[in-house]
Structure 1
């Protein structure tokens, strides 16, 4: 039978997550998180995951939507992943074609796609009119058998807390995340101004760990943090580590991340993952200090629509 591409259905969640884990083992993905994303993504994101199917088996996935928090309209994205043992059946090509048609029909003017940095993947993207943009590394740290830097005593006026301590009012963490995220290098400009969307997409996300996310407070106000996610098993990841502009250069992000890593290891997590833009020298140096090693690289490819 031929490959077909169709809309995601709730029953596809486990298969969707499994393909993501096989194709991109450095990213945390569970059936629960996939289902949650579909149900809770901001309406302006027009999030439309797709699956490729052959003989009743899911063999490919695509995350399709818009960067709704960008000040520039029409910034669409499609991230396509095919089961490593099911490549060569045309699933990737059909997923890209279907995703592009969907996004063009919603008035997308520019398309972004993360592509693993291998000759085959890059050629696939370039043949379809995409040009290379920024790149980012995936990094892995062995928490089970590796060594972490010793815990540091916070300097005077600095206190370490958990995200769980802000359960009654997480708004200060939103403000911290918005400022730190806005300064991260990216091909897309973002403006995090929607607190309600942040609550759904970050604070209430099933992968987000309120217990392992660490915040450094300066004089009682959040100044730096390391936001953690877990898969409910043995894998832990930090999705952003950052500091507000007024307190950068004091080692507060490193302090918060070290605290989170130690608590993750104590909780039984054996692998830690993170990602950094290849031009983000300061954060790459911090992660090297912790013992992270680069395990793969992605390139963001861009296609302009007429």
Structure 2
């Protein structure tokens, strides 16, 4: 192997996306999405650390290393480490070489904790993380619903009750205006997200960053469903986004309810509204990610017809 390790550039995004898909290191990797994610890290108000290297073998991209601070769970002493090796280059020590590069870079940062992850079926990746001193801390399911066989008539969207209206974000924008609608949406999203199960406590959802999701590939105000009071307060949310690689696949993001409005079936009603909309729009599948510890939502998704596809295993190493 004639190896060259160098910093990445935006021009590498198409080849890097291909590598990540081959290595199954990241879901739905695409060049535009990678550019957007890196741009968000570099421009985020908390100024997270970001370091990225690529490994080439005779001009072909075969390895990737990223050391960064996750803005969704930001902590000044915590760093995420992602290493991906193309299947054709695995078993030749490249993963260990990239891990050494990561260790050399981190030595100047004095980290308190490192976080990483891989998929349950990726035995080589699991063994590698164990060898590097990481221990398992958390698991997520990729749950998938086949809309081609989903019997929508069995699952009508229930009335919200309590004077609430079921609106899309597009409806709310039409009624309140762009800025007011996004502010109301953000307030509900930020509160609901604080209670979502995760390995690390979520960081506050900054409005200026939240607002940027409107530019994300596949994101549309027509596929964001909200429960709204007569006074215009958003009390529950669910988001759907079209997959950048597959127009027939949709992803469900956060589904949640503000604390004072829970246990009224609002999250289920919104999720059903989104599922009906996705099926009517011609989507064939819906994916959502759930923590394996979230028994309540897993039970609901199981009744709705979602089936586990693969499990993401999160690891941590305390220094």
Fold shared per TM-score above 0.5:
yes
- 2:104 aligned partner: 101
Preserved contact between residue 225 and residue 253 of structure 1 (Cα < 8 Å): yes
Residue from 187, 193, 204 that aligns with 2:215 = 204
Residue from 89, 94, 97 that aligns with 2:92 = 89
Change (3 A) 1:208 1:46: farther
Cα deviation code 1:238-287 (max 9, x no counterpart): 12111111111111111111111221222222221111111001111121
Q: Which runs of 5+ in 1 are unaligned?
A: none
- 1:131 aligned partner: 135
Preserved contact between residue 141 and residue 292 of structure 2 (Cα < 8 Å): yes
- 2:76 aligned partner: 73
**How far did 1:304 drift?**
1.8
Preserved contact between residue 241 and residue 252 of structure 2 (Cα < 8 Å): yes
Following the alignment from structure 1 to structure 2, what is the Cα–Cα distance between the partners of residues 272 and 7? 36
Preserved contact between residue 25 and residue 118 of structure 2 (Cα < 8 Å): no
Preserved contact between residue 25 and residue 84 of structure 2 (Cα < 8 Å): no
Following the alignment from structure 1 to structure 2, what is the Cα–Cα distance between the partners of residues 137 and 198? 25
**Deviation beyond 6 Å, 4+ runs, structure 1:** none
Following the alignment from structure 1 to structure 2, what is the Cα–Cα distance between the partners of residues 258 and 35? 32
Counterparts of 1:198-277 in structure 2 under 5 Å? 198-200=210-212, 202-219=213-230, 220-232=232-244, 233-277=247-291
Asked if 1:37 is matched to 2:37, the reply is yes
Change (3 A) 1:3 1:214: farther
- 1:122 aligned partner: 126
Change (3 A) 1:87 1:147: farther
Preserved contact between residue 160 and residue 216 of structure 1 (Cα < 8 Å): yes
Preserved contact between residue 112 and residue 303 of structure 1 (Cα < 8 Å): yes
Q: Which moved more, 1:6-15 or 1:60-69?
A: 60-69
TM-score (norm 1): 0.89
Asked if 1:151 is matched to 2:151, the reply is no
TM-score (norm 2): 0.86
- 2:63 aligned partner: 60
Larger Rg: 2
Following the alignment from structure 1 to structure 2, what is the Cα–Cα distance between the partners of residues 153 and 65? 43
Cα deviation code 1:6-62 (max 9, x no counterpart): 322212212222333344398333211111111222162223343332222222334
Residues paired across the two proteins, number: 304
Q: CA RMSD in A?
A: 2.4
